[in-house]
Structure 1
Amino acid sequence: MLDGITAIAFDIDGTLYSSPEFYLRIIPHFLKNFLFYIKYNKIRNVLHHTAPLPDFYEYQARLFAELTGSSVEDAKKKIQSVVYDGLETYFKKIKPFKYVEETFRRIKAAGYKIAILSDFPPEQKGDIWGLAPYCDVILGSEQCGALKPSVFPFGILAKQLGVKKEQILYVGNSRKYDVLGAKNAGMMSAYIMPLWRRIFHCPLKEADINFSNYRQFAEIVIE
């Protein structure tokens, strides 16, 4: 067991499943909505650096409306249709990384609380490939009003888990949003290394834990 850690929280996208595999699957969808995604990514970049908002979805729609010259209501409908509803079906065809369910089961049995904190709505992934029943908290940063790496959603996560921030290990695949976001919030961090880092034995120095697969991760946290 990790000293002082009582809860382990996970990002979803690129952390629990392969991002490259997902991107390959959505190529037709992306090409069909190419201009939309160019503009949408611009506003998401702004939102990653925005203070906590009382209504994230309203502000997101306002940014998109200003960029595209549409009404706020039309912007909301477009984002809902293309991003939230439009991508949902693709997640049904994606499988999680090997050993993920086994790892959730083992760390739950070891006495850890388990949580999910994702920048996109977790419900977009249904029961998160059978992982939802293991979770004590499932949280989307959008509903918190601020995207990672803001410390705000990490703070809400700790509050909902009922533990101190320094008692949480946050697991992710992004240096900026997951590792540094969690560290700045006072949490420990674990980083799932991409293939190139594994090949060249190049762990991420800012992360407290680097791992290559989820069976290895389970051994690290349970030993």
Structure 2
Amino acid sequence: MQYQAILFDLDDTLYDLRSYWRGRLHEALDAVLARYPHFERDALVHQAIREKVYIERLPAFLRAQGVDDEALIASAKSMFERDWFARLVLNDDAPATLRALRPRFKLGLVTNGPSRTQRPKIAQFGLDDYLDLLIVSEEVGVAKPDPAIFHMALEQLGVAPAQALYVGDSLEFDLPGADAAGMPFVWMNPRGEPFPEHLPRPLHEIQRLTELVALLG
């Protein structure tokens, strides 16, 4: 198949959200752990990630764990959100990969999330310099895994589903959405996690973005 376009997910595909999130939680919880030494740091951070505790949810999360020092809670939240977007960085091989692919393919982004979180990331990463299309789910009123958001991107790029790859990490949103839209899917799996047998197989699995360049010849 001669592909004409490549669409990317953003979070945990073009940059490592999970590692960044874990590091920021470690910072934010330092003072809490000093005041409440019975907490085990890694277990608390793991629980926060499992419960998808982002900035606005941190105070409620801490109260649910029994933290009752409101000044400390406010301080932890302030530490957590400080320079949140300014300290984000793309995967180290992302810029070179996008530069290598752009002369040969139309490139686009299809990301779930609100504009207030996704647009600052796009600006921080300078993705306008690399991509021909940027779609944020809140702005178009539909989100992955609904195939409609993929069809919007394909229509704007002027390519058929079979002529475009979708590269993403989420087996909950990216894989079923791309599959329903008729797009081949490349699974970004940097941690080498096992693939669930009950799901449709991706076209390829990669651990680093630069593998796309070799994959596409």
Tell me whether the two structures share a fold, i.e. TM-score over 0.5.
yes
Q: How does 1:3-22 map to 2 (within 5 A)?
A: 3-22=1-20
Distance in 1 (alpha carbons) for counterparts of 2:145 and 2:82: 24
Q: Which residue in 2 is equivalent to 1:117?
A: 110
Distance 1:25 1:90, change over 3 A: farther
Q: Which residue in 2 is equivalent to 1:150?
A: 146
SS of equivalent residue, structure 1 residue 97: coil
Q: Which residue in 1 is equivalent to 2:162?
A: 166
Q: Which residue in 2 is equivalent to 1:219?
A: 214
Distance in 2 (alpha carbons) for counterparts of 1:95 and 1:151: 29
Unaligned runs of 5+ in 2: 29-52, 62-76
Q: Which residue in 2 is equivalent to 1:58?
A: none
Give yes or no for the alignment of 1:140 onto 2:136: yes
Distance in 2 (alpha carbons) for counterparts of 1:123 and 1:88: 17
| Cα offset, 1:25, TM superposition | 4.2
Distance in 2 (alpha carbons) for counterparts of 1:102 and 1:135: 13
- Residue in structure 1 matching 2:58, options 34, 39, 55: 34
Q: Which residue in 2 is equivalent to 1:100?
A: 94
SS of equivalent residue, structure 2 residue 173: helix
1:90-137 residue CA offsets vs partner (Å, 9 max, x unmatched): 13212111211000000112x100000100234121435133212111
Kept in 2, the 8 Å contact 1:139–1:157? The answer is: yes
Distance in 1 (alpha carbons) for counterparts of 2:82 and 2:163: 33
Q: How does 1:58-137 map to 2 (within 5 A)?
A: 89-109=83-103, 111-120=104-113, 121=115, 122-137=118-133
Distance 1:6 1:154, change over 3 A: same
- Residue in structure 1 matching 2:188, options 189, 192, 198: 192
Specify the code of the residue in structure 1 equivalent to 2:110: L
Distance 1:32 1:118, change over 3 A: closer
The two structures have a TM-score, normalised by structure 2, of 0.68
Kept in 2, the 8 Å contact 1:149–1:182? The answer is: yes
| Cα offset, 1:18, TM superposition | 1.0
Q: Aligned Cα RMSD in Å?
A: 3.0
Specify the code of the residue in structure 2 equivalent to 1:155: H
Specify the code of the residue in structure 2 equivalent to 1:163: V
Distance 1:123 1:153, change over 3 A: same
Task: From the two aligned structures, give the one with the greater helix fraction.
Answer: 1
The two structures have a TM-score, normalised by structure 1, of 0.67
1:58-81 residue CA offsets vs partner (Å, 9 max, x unmatched): xxxxxxxxxxxxxxxxxxxxxxxx
Distance in 1 (alpha carbons) for counterparts of 2:179 and 2:169: 14
| Cα offset, 1:185, TM superposition | 0.6
Provide the aligned length of Structure 1 versus Structure 2: 171
SS of equivalent residue, structure 1 residue 157: helix
Distance in 2 (alpha carbons) for counterparts of 1:172 and 1:126: 16
Distance in 2 (alpha carbons) for counterparts of 1:178 and 1:88: 30
Q: Which has the larger radius of gyration?
A: 2
